[in-house]
Structure 1
Amino acid sequence: MGAMNDVLVWSATAVAVAVALAGLASTLARRRIGLVHLAGAAVLEVLLVVQAVVAGVALAGGERPPETATFLGYLGGVVLLPVAGVLWSRTEPSRWAGTVLAVASLVTAVMVWRLVQLWEAPGV
């Protein structure tokens, strides 16, 4: 099994999209984010941390993507992004808090798939 577990990748993508949709819904409803948003972001964060551990174990076992430094940068960033999105959205006093969380979630989904590309890239 490679570092980028298919179940974790697809699960993180689905949760990220769900959190983004919830964020956009709260923006359209002119409401701030609530417990549903926070719970979704927490589930997303757990999936990302588990994926990071799986990738770390693979790296420790000698597996390496062709661009290891870039992979590690994305891996660190993707784990921090949902936390940053939640923190920013919680301090946003307007209805745009949901949009902040939605953007962070969608960027997270894109970064997860970029990690897959980096891991599966052909060797140099």
Structure 2
Amino acid sequence: MILWFTYILVAIAALGGLLCVVLGLAGRRPSDLTVGILGLLELGLIAQVVISIIAPFAGNPPTGSLLEFWVYLVTAVLIPPAAVVWALLERSRWSTVIMGIAALAVAVMVWRMQVIWTVQGS
């Protein structure tokens, strides 16, 4: 993984998640803004998949469990679309909160992936 890209993904996920939670608690239903935040996060996660495939060949192999890393990454890639589908099917303020919680969960997962890739010994 690339550290600066991890920081960007965590920032997008955390700030977007907090914004979605605040908007949801304020009574706002899913909108282009909230769905767009999760779309941007999803694009970043797809870029992370590509980076994770290329990095070992470029001399940046993981030091932790590769299986654990990929389970985290695949799960993180699946969470934003699932939250958006839920939000578009339900269309209540609580679905906006759920999108925020999903983004916050992805922020934690991305940071954990960084730890698995760089800190742990195999």
Runs (5+) with no aligned partner, structure 2: none
Higher helix residue share: 2
Deviation of 1:117 after TM superposition, in Å, equals: 0.9
Identify which range, 78-87 or 104-113, moves more after superposition: 78-87
Distance in 2, Cα, partners of 1:23 & 1:92: 15
| Number of residues of Structure 1 aligned to a counterpart in Structure 2 | 121
Identical aligned pairs, as a percentage? 31
Deviation of 1:5 after TM superposition, in Å, equals: 1.2
Give the TM-score normalised by structure 2: 0.88
1:11 equivalent to 2:3? Answer no
- Alignment deviations for residues 80-117 of structure 1 (CA, whole Å, 9 cap, x no partner): 11111111122224210111001100000000001011
Q: CA RMSD in A?
A: 1.7
Q: Is the 8 A contact 1:17 1:109 kept in 2?
A: yes
Give the TM-score normalised by structure 1: 0.87
Q: 1:16 to 1:122 in 2, by over 3 A?
A: closer
Which of these residues, 72, 75, 83, is aligned with residue 70 of structure 2? 72
Runs (5+) with no aligned partner, structure 1: none
Distance in 1, Cα, partners of 2:57 & 2:67: 14
Alignment partner, residue 24 of structure 1: 21
Distance in 2, Cα, partners of 1:59 & 1:23: 35
